[in-house]
Structure 1
Amino acid sequence: MTGTPPLRPADPARPPGAVPTAAVVPAGRSRVRSDAVAEEPPPLVAAVARGVALVVVLPVRLLWELVGATGRLVNRHLLTPIGRFLYRRLLLPLAWLARTRLWVPLVWLARGAAWAAVTLVWRPLVWAARRLLWLPLAWLVRELVVRPARWLAALFAPAGRALLAGLAALARVLAAGLAALGRVAAVGLLAVGRALWAVARFVGRVLVDAVVGAWRLAGRVLGFLYRVLLRPLGLALRWLWRHLAVPLGRAVRAVWRATVLPLARGARAAWRAIVGPTRRWLRRAVLDPARLASREVLVALGLRR
């Protein structure tokens, strides 16, 4: 195959210098025809692909559209009205009831308790401490200590002993007076503290009873709303689930099992019975011999080792 090709006699009917007819065909047209032939799929593979698309893809597409339409209808005519009804008839009244019957009374009770604590406890204590303890002590110190000390400081030194004795006696008298005043103030403050404690206990009991009553009232109202609204709504939703959603799901499952699964199994069996053997036959009968022939030609021409 690598030697010089033999010479062929010239055609006497062909003039000298004429080009053979096979060489006159344009290269572009031959390339277009070869590409068209190469791109044209085998008729068996195209028919199998179309059959698979018709058998598998079309039912799945129709089932998907049916599920989407059912979901849109359920959302538009069931879920959206139920959500609006719950929001307008249940959530808004519950929020208004909680704000009006629980939060606002609790705020007023807290404000009343704060006012009672400031007005009935703190201000009386401050007034009693100022009027009964601080002002008498300040007056006693000013009248009995500061002024005598100033007067004694103006006297001469010989009267120091008498002044010291008088100061000692005055200190004893002041100590006894302060002790008595302290006992009286302690008794008064104890009485005031007991009275304020009784008032605080009474106010606390009233507040606790009010909070417990409001809590019980809210529980009864919420229980009534549950029995009147939520429980019937739950029963209705359960009935809809049992009599609408469950049968619809079972119907979809039955349609799937009756149509899609047999079609898919048939398509798989057809693929295994037709496409697989055809592919193996093409590889063994066409592709492998063509590959070996092209390899031998390339080796013979010296283009491949």
Structure 2
Amino acid sequence: MTDRRTLRSSLPGPPNEHRATPTGARPAGDPLASGTMRPAAVAPPLVSAVARGVALVVVLPVRLLWELIAAAGRLLHRYLLRPVGRFLRRWLLAPLAWVLHRLVWLPLVWCARHLLWLPLVWVARTVIWPALLWVTRHGLRPVLVVLGRVLVWLATYLVLWPLQWLGAVLTPVGRLVVDAVVGAWRTAGRVLRLLHRLLLRPLGRGLRWLWRHTVRPLLSGVRWVWSVTVVPVARGLRAVWRATVAPAARWARRSVLAPARLAVREVLNALGLRR
């Protein structure tokens, strides 16, 4: 077999990048060569332009104002509030705390301990406690014994005996009251049983008959009417909603909201405001 030479055109023309590449290879700038080409949804030009205009007119001034306020706050905190706080803490609060601790608190503690607490402890230990012991041993014990005997006599003759007499008197009355309560309870039970036989049982039977022959058929008819009328209408409305409103909402979300969000994101990225 003989080699065949490829005939090239001698006419001048724009360079063809595909001629210099071998078969099956792609140029270096071709996105398909690196495998990074991804299908992207291209927004309609009019919707994208409107979204970018809204982002420039509404979102951008608010974002710039917010960034300006945040920068002013950071500068104010860094160069004014923090140095003032350090100065006040170092040159005002710390010396004032030292002066109060050394000249006020420590003298007050010393005075309270040596002029108030220790003298009170000495007086209580040497004067009050021995006096209390002597009074308890020689004067208070007989008084307490006599007082206890008087209290026992009063409790015996003024409380215990009257309670015993009152119990003896009220025992027959209590028996009569108990008998009356028991009799009333039995009578009430008989009346309730008679009322159940003569009134409640027939009334229950009548209500049961009314439920079986009127209310239950009425509820069955209402349920049948509901299943025949309301349920088909609701299903039809749901089908109409799925056929009309849901596709329109999906189209608005994909064709209007998504391009607007993408445009705002591009504008913020271009201005360097998005982090």
Q: TM-score, normalised by structure 1?
A: 0.29
Q: Which of structures 1 and 2 has the bigger CA Rg?
A: 1
